[in-house]
Amino acid sequence: MSQQAAEEKLPLSGIRVIDVATMIAAPYCACILGEFGAEVLKVEHPSGGDLCRNFGTATSRGDTLAWFSEARNKKSVTIDLHHPEGANLFKALVAKTDIVCENFRPGTLERWGLGWELLQEINPRLIMLRVSGYGQTGPYKDRPGFARIAHAVGGLAYVAGMPKGTPVTPGSTTLGDYLSGLYGCVGVLFALHYRDQTGKGQYIDTALYESVFRCTDELAPAYAMFGIVGERHGPHLGTACPYGHFPTKDGKWVAIACTTDKLFARLAESMGRPELASTSLYGEQKTRLENRHDVNEIVRDWCGSLSRDQILQRCHATGAPAGPLNNIADIFGDRQFHARRNLVAIDDEDLHETVIVPNVLPRLSKTPGRIKHLGPRLGQHTDEVLKELVGLSQEEIADLRARRII
């Protein structure tokens, strides 16, 4: 199949997205849409552009690695939306666009004369994703919000860490951004499905803290019904045992999760101590939870007596659920990551270097997504887009540029 035919086969081919957001939250939704064929125009402020260009480790071009990875497949178009002429250019683009992703503080776009009501008048089929720290409504809506704050407000940070110790970052500070991007993308695809059948557009209102809170399992019903306040359990879990992280003889860590009795029986077998899983000992979850200290001690002793590889080999032989606590160096050497092509090396022409980034998810059998290129230079596609979509001449573009509107 020719490249053009392959592109046309992508499920979102023909769909145009404007990503006027910053950092990772709403932009990650646009990123996924782009991986599956949508044309994504990243609209940025002419001086400096998206803050994500400064987030984390810088490359020789200045833009950071996070930018290169997460702005993949996007075209960069600079427009100053504070300026009335800039706002007009934006409206001209919106008229030819299916989806707008934004994550300003609520009210900002409205102040620039680019609120939902106005944009929808320009384009009644428009779908608009609005992500913000606290959502478009409610008493905190005007507060600044970042994923760090959302993890705290959404109840995730409180349950991460050692019992009574300082709550820790739940692994990564950007987690809530990705989660909101995912929920945003779900909303956009539902809205697109509805629009495909009715022609009607709509907006999606997602808050960072809500996306985090939605992933907290039984925390809310358990508090409402029994007054149980979920606390930090360190590496363990309140409702299953043994479940946690255990140090191995060679100074590494393994994760073990016996959520059912059957899985514990397999672990006992791996340990060469099947009797541990008898009902008179620790065969039942209830007994194990009552004696969690002893059970964890037994597992800890066993893990401490063998290397990580030995532990994993014995667990895999019986089907006991265990895995290594991979750091990124481990991941680069992991056979499963290689076999699934989870890491992909992209040669960036502009950077003159190869950047290794996480590959596209999810994996579709007939219409898989793809990475065409990594994050663009600021304004790399401004001229092209303003010529083709807005019909501006070279002179008009030069004039707008001289006046720093683009």
Partner 1 sequence: MEEEIAEATGKPLPLSGIRVIDVGTFLAGPYAASIMGEFGAEVLKVEYPVGGDPMRRFGIQATHGDATLAWLSEARNKRSVTIDLRRPKGVEIFIKLVSKSDVVIENFRPGTMEQWGLGWDVLSRDHPGLIMLRVSGYGQTGPYRRRPGFAHIAHAIGGLSYLAGFPGESPVVPGTAPLGDYMSSLYGVIGVMLALRHKAKTGEGQIIDIGIYEAVFRHLDELAAAYGMFGMVREREGAGSFVAVPHGHFRTKDEKWVAIACTTDRMFERLSDAMERPQLASGNLYGPQRKRLAARDEVNAIVSEWTLSLTRDELLERCIAREVPIGKVNSIADIFEDEHFRARGNLAEIEEEGVGKVVVPNVVPTLSETPGRISNLGPRLGNATYEVMRDILELSASEIAKLRQQKII
Q: Which one, of 351, 375, 361, 357, lies nearest residue 19 by Cα?
A: 375
Q: State which of residues 170, 283, 387, 399 lies at the interface with partner 1 (CB under 8 A).
A: 170
The catalytic position among 177, 250, 261, 294 is 177
Q: Per rule CB under 8 A, is residue 286 in the interface with partner 1?
A: no
Helix (H, G, I), strand (E, B) or coil at 139: coil
Do 367 and 10 contact (CB within 8 A), yes or no? yes
Q: Per rule CB under 8 A, is residue 297 in the interface with partner 1?
A: no
Q: Per rule CB under 8 A, is residue 122 in the interface with partner 1?
A: no
Q: Which stretch binds partner 1 (CB under 8 A): 77-85, 106-114, 222-230, 303-311?
A: 222-230
Do 31 and 72 contact (CB within 8 A), yes or no? yes
Q: Per rule CB under 8 A, is residue 82 in the interface with partner 1?
A: no
Q: State which of residues 82, 111, 121, 143 lies at the interface with partner 1 (CB under 8 A).
A: 143
Q: Nearest distance from residue 84's CB to partner 1, in Å? A: 25
Instruction: Pick out residues in 34-63 that bind partner 1 (CB under 8 A).
Output: 36, 51, 55-57, 59
How many amino acids of this chain bind partner 1 (CB under 8 A)? Answer: 156
CA distances, 286 to each of 231, 236, 257, 289 (Å): 20, 15, 15, 5
Q: Which one, of 58, 185, 206, 79, lies nearest residue 132 by Cα?
A: 206
Helix (H, G, I), strand (E, B) or coil at 166: coil
Q: Which stretch binds partner 1 (CB under 8 A): 107-115, 166-174, 287-295, 394-402?
A: 166-174
Q: Nearest distance from residue 368's CB to partner 1, in Å? A: 9
Closer residue to partner 1, CB minimum distance, 36 or 90 = 36
350: annotated active-site residue: no
Measured CA to CA, the distance from residue 86 to residue 80 in angstroms comes to 5
Dig out the tokens for 141 from the structure. Answer: 């809506």
Do 326 and 334 contact (CB within 8 A), yes or no? yes
Dig out the tokens for 404 from the structure. Answer: 């720093």
Instruction: Pick out residues in 334-393 that bind partner 1 (CB under 8 A).
Output: 334-337, 339-340, 342-343, 345, 353-358, 361-367
Do 75 and 372 contact (CB within 8 A), yes or no? no
Do 229 and 158 contact (CB within 8 A), yes or no? no
Instruction: Pick out residues in 180-219 that bind partner 1 (CB under 8 A).
Output: 182-187, 189-194, 196-198, 200-207, 209-211, 213-219
How many Cβ atoms sit within 10 Å of the Cβ of residue 11? 16
Q: State which of residues 84, 107, 121, 173 lies at the interface with partner 1 (CB under 8 A).
A: 173
Q: Per rule CB under 8 A, is residue 233 in the interface with partner 1?
A: yes
Closer residue to partner 1, CB minimum distance, 127 or 378 = 127
Closer residue to partner 1, CB minimum distance, 95 or 220 = 220
The residues carrying an active-site annotation are 177
